[in-house]
């Protein structure tokens, strides 16, 4: 291997990530200090039903489109979250995708790192905690693989080659989930009164898959897999395991569990759609708690704009009685700011119009 500057620095990163992955060192250890969160964001006592509030489940197989649109809009306004059933993605493909995601995270740290190190442009990479590991005050209990999905012919070369079925299964999976994403956005566009074409170009051009893995945690009361956040995307379509809780939604000052429903997808509104809808839909705040018995794996499919695409409130939703709450900016500016700040208020200030 040559020791050019970029290769050398990527080599360092490669070794560091390998050692930092939670899955590579957690076994038998108590929770390190660096994972103990400040009291205000610790989950504290778990295993008590936190709320009787239930995330709505929408049956996409029904024939009454108006009713489906209404259910989606209501859930998106009230919770920023809903689940979908009869969504058209084959159950066996969902099972295969989950299995291959689990197999990826079950590989040795070295294998995982090798599989994700061949692209210096980071079309595919592995990280642990948040994407700010080097600068964050404390860490989170999660390892993630992330890669882009579109165009498939270009992106697939960067995806892991091990497990050997990964590319085959995940390409079929992302193709199907992408179609589901278009269907959901079309229903949302009808509900908002925005042209369906609004979402068919740059705004949805760069979908991204994030394969999250939360190893069994020595003390789930003290730490989190992912802290309270909003997704920096239009929508996220999440595949979670059948029988493991972990995802929680923040609503009316309380945390609501998202119940795992076999072969349903969890859909949530991201902050970019909040901007496009001029605040009509809510980019929901959520977090992930860990558990001490089992590892949990999930796969996020982020419906994402391309870097240069302008994100701004849809023109038809802006008028004198409803002025633009957000300014217009290229997605890459928004996303770069998202990556460097963990303070939501700061990000909000960055995207709001000064008059708001």
What pairs with residue 166 in β-bridges? none
Running DSSP on this structure, what letter comes out for residue 32? P
Query: Does residue 285 belong to the site contacting Ni ion (CB under 5 A)?
Result: no
Residue 182 has φ and ψ, to the nearest 5°, of -65, -40
| Tokens coding 86 | 């009869």
Look at residue 212 and give the partner it binds from Ni ion, ligand OGA, none, a contact being a CB closer than 5 to 8 Å depending on partner kind. Answer: ligand OGA
Query: Does residue 231 belong to the site contacting ligand OGA (CB under 6 A)?
Result: yes
CA-CA-CA-CA dihedral for 308, 331, 167, 144, to nearest 10: 150
Query: Does residue 298 belong to the site contacting ligand OGA (CB under 6 A)?
Result: yes
Query: Does residue 300 belong to the site contacting ligand OGA (CB under 6 A)?
Result: yes
Q: How far is the CB of 210 from ligand OGA (least distance, A)?
A: 5
CA–CA–CA angle 258, 262, 266 (5° rounding): 40
By CB under 5 A, which span of 142-150, 189-197, 228-236, 333-341 interacts with Ni ion?
228-236
Cβ-closest position to ligand OGA: 298
**Rounded CA separation 285/42 (Å):** 16
Running DSSP on this structure, what letter comes out for residue 98? H
Sole binder of Ni ion in the list 69, 192, 217, 231 (CB under 5 A):
231
Would you call 92 helix, strand, or coil by DSSP?
helix
Q: How far is the CB of 271 from ligand OGA (least distance, A)?
A: 11
Range 45-74, binding ligand OGA (CB under 6 A): none
Query: Does residue 147 belong to the site contacting ligand OGA (CB under 6 A)?
Result: no
Largest CA distance in the chain: 62
Look at residue 288 and give the partner it binds from ligand OGA, Ni ion, none, a contact being a CB closer than 5 to 8 Å depending on partner kind. Answer: ligand OGA
By CB under 6 A, which span of 68-76, 82-90, 129-137, 239-247 interacts with ligand OGA?
239-247
Contact 324, 278 (CB under 8 A): yes
Q: How far is the CB of 48 from Ni ion (least distance, A)?
A: 23
**Rounded CA separation 326/16 (Å):** 39
Cβ neighbors of 37 (< 8 A, separation 6 or more) are 138, 222, 223, 224, 227
Q: How far is the CB of 321 from ligand OGA (least distance, A)?
A: 34
Q: How far is the CB of 137 from ligand OGA (least distance, A)?
A: 20
Q: Considering beta carbons, is residue 192 or 209 the nearer one to ligand OGA?
A: 209
């Amino acid at each position: 291997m040559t020791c050019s500057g970029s290769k050398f620095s990527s080599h360092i990163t490669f070794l560091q990530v390998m050692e930092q992955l939670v899955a590579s060192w957690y076994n038998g250890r108590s929770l390190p200090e660096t994972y103990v969160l400040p009291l205000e964001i610790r989950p504290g006592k778990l295993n008590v039903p936190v709320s009787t509030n239930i995330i709505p489940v929408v049956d996409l197989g029904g024939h009454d489109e108006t009713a489906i649109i209404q259910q989606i809009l209501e859930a998106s306004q009230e919770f920023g979250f809903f689940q979908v059933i009869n969504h058209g993605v084959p159950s066996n493909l969902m099972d295969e995708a989950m299995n291959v995601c689990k197999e990826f995270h079950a590989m040795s740290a070295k294998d995982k790192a090798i599989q994700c190190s061949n692209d210096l442009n980071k079309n595919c990479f592995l990280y642990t905690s948040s994407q700010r590991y080097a600068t964050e005050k404390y860490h989170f209990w999660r390892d993630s693989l992330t890669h882009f999905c579109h165009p498939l012919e270009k992106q697939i070369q960067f995806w892991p080659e091990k497990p050997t079925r990964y590319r085959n299964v995940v390409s079929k999976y992302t193709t199907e989930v992408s179609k589901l994403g278009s269907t959901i956005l079309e229903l949302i566009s009808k509900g908002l009164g925005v042209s369906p074409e609004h979402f068919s170009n740059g705004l949805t051009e760069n979908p991204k898959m994030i394969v999250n893995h939360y190893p069994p945690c020595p003390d789930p009361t003290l730490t989190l897999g992912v802290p309270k956040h909003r997704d920096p995307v239009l929508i996220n379509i999440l595949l979670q395991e059948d029988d493991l809780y972990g995802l929680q939604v923040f609503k009316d000052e309380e945390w609501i569990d998202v119940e795992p429903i076999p072969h349903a997808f969890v859909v949530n509104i991201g902050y970019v759609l909040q901007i496009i809808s001029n605040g009509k839909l809510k980019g929901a705040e959520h977090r992930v708690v860990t558990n001490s018995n089992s590892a949990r794996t999930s796969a996020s499919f982020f419906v994402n704009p391309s870097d240069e695409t302008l994100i701004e409130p849809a023109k038809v939703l802006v008028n004198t009685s409803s002025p633009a709450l957000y300014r217009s900016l290229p997605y890459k500016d928004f996303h770069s700011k998202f990556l460097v700040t963990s303070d939501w208020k700061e990000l909000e200030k960055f995207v709001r119009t000064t008059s708001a």
